[in-house]
Structure 1
Amino acid sequence: MHQQPQDVATMVFDWGSIKWLVTPDTVTDATSSFGEVVINPEKGHERHLHPDADEVLYVIEGTGRQTVGDAPEFDIAAGDAIWVAKGTMHSTFNTGWKPLRLIAAYTPGGEENALRGLPGFVELPAGTNPTWSPGAARG
């Protein structure tokens, strides 16, 4: 199976966007989910958990701060990998001037469907790119 980013929908939030390239809903026989997350500068998502899946994050580009469970918050940068056990509270915040790009994987897949219920969620159809205005980041 070959998936290209322009061929899948984009989840958009006030903090950034996600393109799920592989999910059990979109790829026959897939048992995990795999996607690219973009967190805009000086933005991040609230602490949350995935009750039924482990999550692995891999930082492609940028810098940020990560929380996992009760451990102290820590810095993340390109090349770092973060494992989050199912049921563990966690969050990611972009501390840099450019987008923080991550790969996110859920095992088992399907946890991405819960994101549809978050406030402000918008799904853009395949082939439509999200837009981000730097002025919106100034608060």
Structure 2
Amino acid sequence: MHRPPDSVPTMVFDWGSIKWHVSPSGVPGASSTFGEVVINPNKGHDRHQHPHSDEVLYVIEGEGRQTVGDGPEFAVRAGDAIWIPMGTMHSTFNTGWRPMRIIATYTPGGAEEALRDLPGFAELAPGEHPTWAVADVKPE
């Protein structure tokens, strides 16, 4: 099954956006989830867990800080892979000047549905693109 990016909806949050290209709810018979996450500069998501799914992250572009469980926060950048066992608290924060792009997978799939309950969640229809406002920054 071929799914171009403009054929799937976009989840939008105050920190960035996600396109789930393959998920059990979007692809009949799919048992895992695969998507692209974009975290805007100087933004990140709160620590959370997926009680019934392992997660793998692969950083495509950018740099940031990652937490996994009770371990120390560590730096991540393009080319890094992160495995997050099911039920493990974790977070990602973009420390760079450009968007951080990450491939995310859930095994088994379905954990993405819980994201709909987060504050500020919005979903854009296929083909619609998020628009990000520029902060009002005044030179000193």
Q: Structure 1 residues 51 and 136, CA, compared in 2 at 3 Å: closer, same or farther?
A: farther
Paired position in structure 2 for 1:52: 52
Q: Does 1:93 align with 2:63?
A: no
Q: What RMSD over aligned residues (CA atoms) do the two structures have, in Å?
A: 1.3
**What is the TM-score normalised by the length of structure 2?**
0.96
Paired position in structure 2 for 1:2: 2
**What is the TM-score normalised by the length of structure 1?**
0.97
C-alpha displacement of 1:73? 0.3
Paired position in structure 2 for 1:110: 110
C-alpha displacement of 1:136? 6.9
Per-residue CA deviations over 1:12-53 (Å, capped at 9, x if unaligned) read: 000000000000011111000000000000000000000000
Q: Structure 1 residues 80 and 137, CA, compared in 2 at 3 Å: closer, same or farther?
A: farther
Query: Equivalents in 2 of 1:25, 1:137: separation in Å?
Result: 41
Paired position in structure 2 for 1:36: 36
Paired position in structure 1 for 2:20: 20
Name structure 1 gaps, 5 residues minimum.
Answer: none
Query: Equivalents in 1 of 2:64, 2:137: separation in Å?
Result: 16
Moved over 4 A (4+): none
Corresponding residue SS for 1:116: helix
Name structure 2 gaps, 5 residues minimum.
Answer: none
Query: Equivalents in 2 of 1:5, 1:71: separation in Å?
Result: 35
Paired position in structure 1 for 2:76: 76
Query: Equivalents in 2 of 1:65, 1:2: separation in Å?
Result: 33
CA contact (8 A) 1:20 1:33 kept: yes
**Structure with max Cα Rg:** 2
